[in-house]
Structure 1
Amino acid sequence: MTTPGSPRKADGRAARWAGQRERRRREFVEAGLRAIARHGPGVSTEQIAEEAGVARTRLYKHFAGATDLQRAIAERAGELITTEFTPLWDPPGAPRQMIEHAIGAHTRWLADHANLYRYLTRHSLSGHSGTRDVVADVKTAIARQLTTLFERYLARFGLDTRPAEAIAYGVVGLVESSTARWLENPRDLGEAELATLLARWTWHILDDTLRTGGVELDPGKPLPSA
């Protein structure tokens, strides 16, 4: 039996407090995401606190300043993006279907979360020490996955796999920069139209690489197993 004030009871209280503090941090981060969607990328700490239903000073009991809050929001956004894009790495079907599915998911997510994307971009460029650049992280993760996928298929067709990384990063740059600009100035171009254009351009890049190696594919027919 332990006595009042014993180390075991103290450790239990500390663990419960740590768990409660972490739960409250998550709640405030989710409130931050809602506030960004409501108020835009220039959301203030006061607006996040209002969304959470607390005074701003309460936020700072759980975060070491605005930068810590921004970092936590960025980390949560990174988790959401990773979850959204994970199914894209086992693409079924024909090349055209695979490309349209992947690019459609990318442009759709950015269109649906435009304020969050702008918020992440703004804070990644702010120069705040320790603030995670989620946009760069996601682009790198997608490019690496595509590199692996392209290498597998180039090898399957007996082609040089060295260009795979350059192609992957080029495709990611094309899609991300085009969609980012479209968010700011759509010029009466719908999201589905943009995705269709980007999918067509991406296929032309891949088709040129294959044809240079003497391989011609029908983009409407399923690929052989890689």
Structure 2
Amino acid sequence: MPNPPIPTSAARAAVNAAATLTRELEQRILTPAVEAVASDGRKQRWEKHKQERRAELTAGTVEAIRALGPEVGMDDIARHIGVSKTVLYRYFADKNDLAAAVTLWYVETTVMPRLIDALSGDIGDYRLVQAVISVYVETVSSDPNVYRFTMARPSGSRPVAAEAEKIFAGALESTLEARFAARGAQTRGARTWARAMVGATTVAVEEWIAVPDRTSQDLAEELTMLVWGGIVGVVGAGGDPACFAADPPQLPPDEGHPPAG
């Protein structure tokens, strides 16, 4: 499948949109209550101090997770940082609030920059798919405890991770639209395909990080095979589900059975 010229302007637009949305994560997700104070000046000083202290405690929590594992509790986190648990609860409503702050740090400083950098690469289609998946898998495998504490938590307690996945799916959707359009294919299914790719990848990685039964390279290659096979099938049908259904790609026949029609 030859590669057309890379639509770099569309890629840049997708990257810029994702960067803007990433900066909005804290405003949309992390909204800790501010204690009532006597004046606006005092309120502003308290809020500045609170955010600075939250950042310090978040950094300490990351180190505690790396050292003690993803199931670490508030008592052990406080002990590792060198503060009382009361201090943690002064700046974080509960463990979910602390986890949200750690997740925001992980998404903004580690996951999204690497993924967006790979997504905007000036490379061919197959290499782009391969690069994005490999970057995600290698990012996870390089810091598994932090990943399991943040991105692999139960869905109800990981709002930042869920928003990050939506943001990345949106950037991927824009990239699919641009690259499919360059081939004359319909793009109305780009949102579905982008979310399916992100969902399949994150679920596979979450299961692998819990039971790493093969290398990260093997996992990345398996995911690349699945995603690229889907892309080739979609583009081969011009992005049209009706055309795909009328003439679906055929599997080689197995012994004693005709090809599926």
- Normalising by structure 1, we get a TM-score of 0.77
Deviations 1:141-167 (A, max 9, x none): 222111111111221222111222222
Contact 1:45 1:56 in 2 (8 A): yes
Which residue pairs with 1:180 in the alignment?
A: 206
Contact 1:33 1:116 in 2 (8 A): yes
Question: Which letter does structure 1 place at the counterpart of 2:203?
Answer: S
Gaps of 5+ in 2: 1-38, 240-261
Which residue of 79, 82, 91 maps to 1:50? Answer: 79
Indicate yes or no: 2:195 matched with 1:169: yes
Counterpart-to-counterpart distance in 1, 2:42 and 2:210 = 50
Which residue of 98, 103, 113 maps to 1:74? Answer: 103
Which residue pairs with 1:30 in the alignment?
A: 59
Which residue pairs with 1:117 in the alignment?
A: 147
How far is the alpha carbon of 1:133 from its aligned partner? 2.1
Aligned length in residues: 200
Instruction: State the secondary structure of the residue aligned to 2:90.
Output: coil
Question: Which letter does structure 2 place at the counterpart of 1:178?
Answer: A
Deviations 1:78-120 (A, max 9, x none): 3232233221331211222211110111111121232222222
Counterpart-to-counterpart distance in 1, 2:164 and 2:93 = 26
Counterpart-to-counterpart distance in 2, 1:122 and 1:107 = 14
Distance 1:205-1:180 versus aligned 2 partners, 3 A rule: same
Distance 1:75-1:93 versus aligned 2 partners, 3 A rule: closer
Percent of residue pairs identical: 26
Counterpart-to-counterpart distance in 1, 2:188 and 2:105 = 34
Counterpart-to-counterpart distance in 2, 1:152 and 1:195 = 24
Distance 1:195-1:26 versus aligned 2 partners, 3 A rule: same
Question: Which letter does structure 2 place at the counterpart of 1:56?
Answer: K
How far is the alpha carbon of 1:12 from its aligned partner? 5.8
**Once structures 1 and 2 are overlaid, which stretch shifts more, 11-20 or 94-103?**
11-20
Distance 1:37-1:211 versus aligned 2 partners, 3 A rule: same
**Once structures 1 and 2 are overlaid, which stretch shifts more, 177-186 or 70-79?**
70-79
Distance 1:114-1:63 versus aligned 2 partners, 3 A rule: same
Alignment of 1:97-108 (within 5 A): 97-108=127-138
Alignment of 1:186-225 (within 5 A): 186-187=212-213, 189-213=214-238
Instruction: State the secondary structure of the residue aligned to 1:25.
Output: helix
Counterpart-to-counterpart distance in 2, 1:98 and 1:111 = 20
Contact 2:60 2:81 in 1 (8 A): yes
Instruction: State the secondary structure of the residue aligned to 2:91.
Output: coil
